[in-house]
Structure 1
Amino acid sequence: MRRLLIGDRSFDEDSVDLQTFLPRAYEQKLRPHCQCREPWVPMYIARMDGQYLVKRMPLSGRDHDPACPSYEPPYELSGLGPLIGNAIQIDANGRTALNLDFSMTKRGPRAAPSAPTEPSEPAIRNETKKLSLRAMLHYLWEMGELTVWRSSWTGKRGWGRVRTSLMNAASQMTARGEELSDVLFVPEVFHQEDKEGIAARRAAALAGAQASRTGPRKLMITVAEVKEFTAAREGHRITLRHLPFPFMIGEGAWKRLIARYESELELWRSNEEFHLIVIATFGISASGVAAVDEVAMMVVNENWIPFESVQERLLLERLAALRRKSVKGLRFNLSRDQPLVSVTLPEQRPSPVAMFIVPAAASEDYERALAEMIEARPEMTPWVWRVSEGEMPKLPS
């Protein structure tokens, strides 16, 4: 259990006094501090669904004691490490400024997308100063704590909770001088009894994507779950869950999309329990048609945890049934020929565990980079599954 210092008062995190005090502390912009170790670790108060929560500052998880619920493994083990201080800059108040590698404007209402899918993976791999669209999706997922799982959460994480987590994460970010939450559109869960209210809120949220008469069109970003892809007279329609209209994509862009995300689409189609998440920049024409400009995708399991392979999905399935916290590592701008931690077990004793899955086709360079990564974090116990050697090794006891 965490003990928190707010102003000159100290609270146990499950105390009634803390819940009573948090609204006032939020209004007064008081900074909570976790007392798990000295010096005390700064945190912040977030308001979500009418509740007040004390959350850790972005990327401060490794500053907490390993026994603290707020502890997270070092971000250097994932694709996030190279981006910190470059593409992602965090100030003393936990606000994050993002440097984007994709356009948020478009000239000409009918212009074809200039780069409708992610760049080639070698280009992604070498870029540390800007966030690709895929890396933006991964960062929102990470900061929304959607990479974290405990068995006690089974059945309690649906799209409504995912949406709240994403929007709360975006509220702490800016991009090109704008609040990210002002340009991010995540569809609400549809409820028939609130149909008109949802439609009104959706129209207000999408106002920024409407075509203007003069000058470049402003684009917005959507994060949503794909329901289906269907052929159109020209190009394809992307139908998203909880939305009454499709997003259009041109034929050339569609071909590049299915080539770039062949693995994700193959995994998604293999199991009805999986979800395909899309992030896209988009605009709405004067006639009201929504069209994507650039797009990236990832596949997540039934608990909304991202994964890249059948082996990763199997590992997540095994861990999901255990009474221990697991944290999924994400690739961000890294290519698939570079190693990263698949999952970490931060509460494992006597030391946290970093779990790696080495693909069957791993090169000598991959193995060398993996060895260097493991050597650089001696405080963590490595667990390695080399797919070429057969079945999954025994999980840490």
Structure 2
Amino acid sequence: MRQFRIGDQIVEETAPDLQPVLERAYEGRQRPLCLCREPPVAMYIARLDGQYLVKRMPSSGRDHDPACPSYEPPYELSGLGPLIGSAIQIDDATGTAMLKLDFSLSKRGSRAAPASQSQTSDTVRNETSKLSLRAMLHYLWDVAELTEWTSLWAGKRGWGKVRSNLINAAKEMTARGGALDEILFVPEVFQTEDKAAIATRRANALADLHATGRGPRKLMLLVGEVKEFTAARSGQKIVIKHMPDFPLMLDDGPWRRANVRYEPELALWRSDEGFHLVAIATFGISSAGMAYVDEIALMVVNENWIPFETVQEHRLLARLAGMRRKSVKGLRFNLARDQPIVCVTLPEQRPSPVAMYIVPGGASAQYERALAEMIEARPEMTPWVWRSSDGEMPPFPD
């Protein structure tokens, strides 16, 4: 049970008068302090959908006690580490994350040109000064707490919950001088009986994308689940699951490059109908009213919407899915596949949190050295290492 100090008052998060207390603190710009540790850890108050919430400062999760719900693994263990302070800058006063993007949100000409090879490679290079499209998706997923799981949430995380968390996460971010939630479109849950109203709300949300004369055309960010790719006369038609009546077109060049870049993700998705394929894309609307994709990145998630990259990661997540204790999935962001990251963290494990690593078969000596350095740098965490070339998954720590 969390307790907060606000001014000279100590309140519990389940107190019946918490909302009035938070409202006064929000208006008075008072910062709550989480009492899970001494000295207390600074937090901030966010107002979302008329409710006041106490939230951890971005990238401060490691400062909380591992038993505190606000704890999160050290960001140095994932691809987030190199981005903090450069591509992602946190405003200490508001908790807002100011993002530097490595992709465009505008295009010139009557139609967005196919992404160049260099643009496509931006989604995988080890860049620390800007967020690639894939890293943007990973950061949204991370801040939305969609990397966290406990069996108590089973059956409670569908697309509606995913969408709500993503939109609320975007409200805590800015990019190119504006609020990220104003340029992010996440389709609402599709219901046949509400089809016309959904289409109207979507048209209103995308009104600024329609081409008007010459000059740069605005692009927006889309995050949605892919239902299918189908061949078109030129390129591919992408059908997003919750907006089947609003396909997006992708030219041949970007589609070929996406097939090469995301071959592992596409192969995993096609191997099991229980897997979801999440796409993030920059997109616009042509003068003819057609929606088109400029750049795209893909991510595979399991039935609980937890991202994974390999069969071994999926097996580990399946083992952890039944545990009542929280697990947190590590994400790659801008890091290349040949660089180690923590796969999963068990923050509530005793006597110390567990950092779980999966070493791919044929890992290089450089990979092993980098892994050893990561483990050595976090002596307060118990390492668990599964070398997939050795065969079966090793036992979990007691």
TM-score for the superposition, normalised by structure 1: 0.95
Q: Following superposition of structure 1 onto structure 2, how do residues 30-109 of structure 1 map, counting pairs within 5 Å?
A: 30-92=30-92, 93-109=94-110
Match of 2:275 in 1: 274
Q: Which residue of 2 aligns with 1:306?
A: 307
2:355 maps to a residue whose letter is: A
8 Å CA contact retained: 1:360, 1:386: yes
Segment drifting more, 24-33 vs 218-227: 24-33
* Cα distance change, pair 229–190 in 1 and its aligned pair in 2 (3 A): same
**Aligned residue identity for 1:10:** I
CA distance in 1, matches of 2:275, 2:300: 7
Map Cα deviations across residues 203-248 of structure 1 (whole Å, 9 max, x no partner): 2211232213121111111000000010111111000011121000
- CA distances 1:160-212 after superposition (whole Å, capped 9, x unpaired): 11111111111111111111111000001123454444333212211232213
1:292 matched to which residue of 2?
293
Q: What is aligned with 2:198?
A: 198
Distance 1:210 1:137 in 2: 24
Tell me if the contact between 1:116 and 1:293 (Cα under 8 Å) persists in the aligned partners.
no
Q: Contact (CA 8 Å) 1:113, 1:253: kept in 2 or not?
A: yes
CA shift at 1:28, angstroms? 4.9
Q: Give the superposition deviation at 1:109.
A: 1.6
Task: Check the 8 A contact 1:36/1:64 in 2, yes or no.
Answer: yes
Q: In 2, Cα distance between the equivalents of 1:281 and 1:27? A: 36
Deviates more, 1:140-149 or 1:190-199: 190-199
1:251-270 alignment, distance < 5 Å: 251-270=252-271
Deviation sequence 1:313-367 (CA, Å, 0-9, x none): 0000101101110000000000010000000001111111000000002111000
Distance 1:29 1:159 in 2: 34
- Alignment gaps of 5+ in structure 1: none
Aligned residues: 396
Q: Could you tell me which amino acid in structure 2 is paired with residue 266 of structure 1?
A: A
1:114 is displaced (CA, Å) by 2.8
One-letter amino acid of the counterpart of residue 383, structure 2: P
SS in 1 for 2:65: coil
Structure 2 letter corresponding to 1:257: A
Q: Which amino acid aligns with 2:85?
A: G
List per-residue Cα deviations over 1:113-157 (Å, max 9, x = no partner). Answer: 233896438x83431101110000000000111000011000000
Partner of 1:326: 327
- TM-aligned CA distance change 1:321 to 1:36, over 3 Å: same
Whether contact under 8 Å (1:274, 1:301) holds in the other structure is: yes
C-alpha separation between the residues in 1 aligned to 2:28 and 2:194?
34
2:365 corresponding residue in structure 1: 364
Give the corresponding residue for 2:229.
229
- 1:353 corresponds in structure 2 to 354
CA distance in 2, matches of 1:289, 1:13: 48
Structure 1 residues 254 and 20: alpha-carbon distance in aligned structure 2, compared to 1, 3 A threshold: same
Distance verdict in 2 for CA 1:323–1:16, change over 3 Å: same
The answer as to 2:170 corresponding to 1:170 is: yes
Question: How has the CA–CA distance of structure 1 residues 276 and 382 changed in structure 2, closer, same or farther, with 3 Å as cutoff?
Answer: same
Aligned to 1:9: 9
Letter in 1 for 2:55: K
Cα distance in 1 for residues equivalent to 2:261 and 2:304:
25
CA RMSD of aligned residues (A): 1.8
Identity among equivalent positions (%) equals: 69
Q: Distance in 1 between matches of 2:77 and 2:54?
A: 26
Deviation at 1:65, TM superposition (A): 1.6
Q: Hey, what's the Cα distance between the residues in 2 that align with 1:255 and 1:290?
A: 19
TM-score when scaled to structure 2?
0.95
Which residue does the alignment assign to 1:158?
A: 158
**Farther off after superposition, 205-214 or 244-253:** 205-214
The code of the aligned residue for 1:17 comes to D
Alignment of 1:22-33 (within 5 A): 22-33=22-33
Q: Partners of 1:4 and 1:288 in 2: how far apart?
A: 51
State how far apart, in whole Å, the 2-side matches of 1:82 and 1:254 are.
29
Q: What residue number does 2:111 align with?
A: 110
Distance 1:212 1:39, change over 3 A: farther
- Specify the code of the residue in structure 2 equivalent to 1:204: N
- Paired residues for 1:111-190 under 5 Å: 111-115=112-116, 119-120=120-121, 124-190=124-190
Contact 2:109 2:214 in 1 (8 A): no
Q: Does 1:317 align with 2:309?
A: no
The CA deviation string for residues 25-63 of structure 1, in whole angstroms up to 9 with x for no partner, is 445554322111233212223344554432211111011
Amino acid of the structure 2 residue aligned with 1:11: V
2:112–2:294 contact (8 Å) kept in structure 1: no
| Stretch moving more, 169-178 or 202-211 | 202-211
Q: For 1:202 and 1:285, how far apart are their aligned partners in 2?
A: 16
Deviations 1:46-103 (A, max 9, x none): 3445544322111110111222111111000000000111111111121111111111
d(CA) in 2 for partners of 1:202, 1:22: 34
Partners of 1:19 and 1:40 in 2: CA distance? 21
